[in-house]
Amino acid sequence: MKPEISKDTIRGHTTTIVLNILNQGDSYGYAIAKTIKQLSHGAYVINEATLYTVFRRLEKNGDIRSYWGNETQGGRRKYYQITTQGQQTLQHNIDEWNFAKQVIDELILGRIEADVSQD
């Protein structure tokens, strides 16, 4: 049985995921959703409502800005661009994630040492 990642596990990291993608270049909703699916090798698919909630929150916080593209075919797309503040938020979130990952690994995989004192 193939392991799955729960939406609860991802929920607190969607802003960081979006910031990571935008840090690599401006993009729009559908392309970002496609990239998330691709980066997770199909293990996670973000729904549109969640994605646009993330966009609104990031824009309100000043981490991203939006602008309308000038498509010559089809409808106009709203593009998102990371700001300098967004890059700082991304780095902060990555640092927090790396620390949390280390602590969780110890808690889940760590072995209790014989000399651990009881408080």
11 confidence band (pLDDT: 50, 70, 90): confident
Q: Which domain holds residue 47?
A: 11-108
pTM score: 0.85
Amino acid at 44: Y
* Number of domains the chain contains: 1
Residue 18 lies in a domain: yes
CA proximity to 63, closest of 3, 99, 23: 23
Q: Cite the beta strand spans of the chain per DSSP E.
A: 27-28, 64-68, 78-82
Residue 71 lies in a domain: yes
CA distance 15 to 33: 13
pLDDT tens readout for residues 31-90? 999 999 999 999 999 999 999 999 999 999 999 999 998 877 677 899 999 999 999 999
CA distance 48 to 14: 12
Residue 40 lies in a domain: yes
Residue 114 lies in a domain: no
Residue 44 lies in a domain: yes
Per-residue confidence (pLDDT) for residue 8, from 0 to 100:
84
Residue 5 lies in a domain: no
Residue 93 lies in a domain: yes
Residue 2 lies in a domain: no
Helix (H, G, I), strand (E, B) or coil at 45: coil
CATH number of the domain bearing residue 84: 1.10.10.10
Residue 117 main-chain phi, psi, to 5 deg: -80, 150
Segment 9-17 mean pLDDT: 92
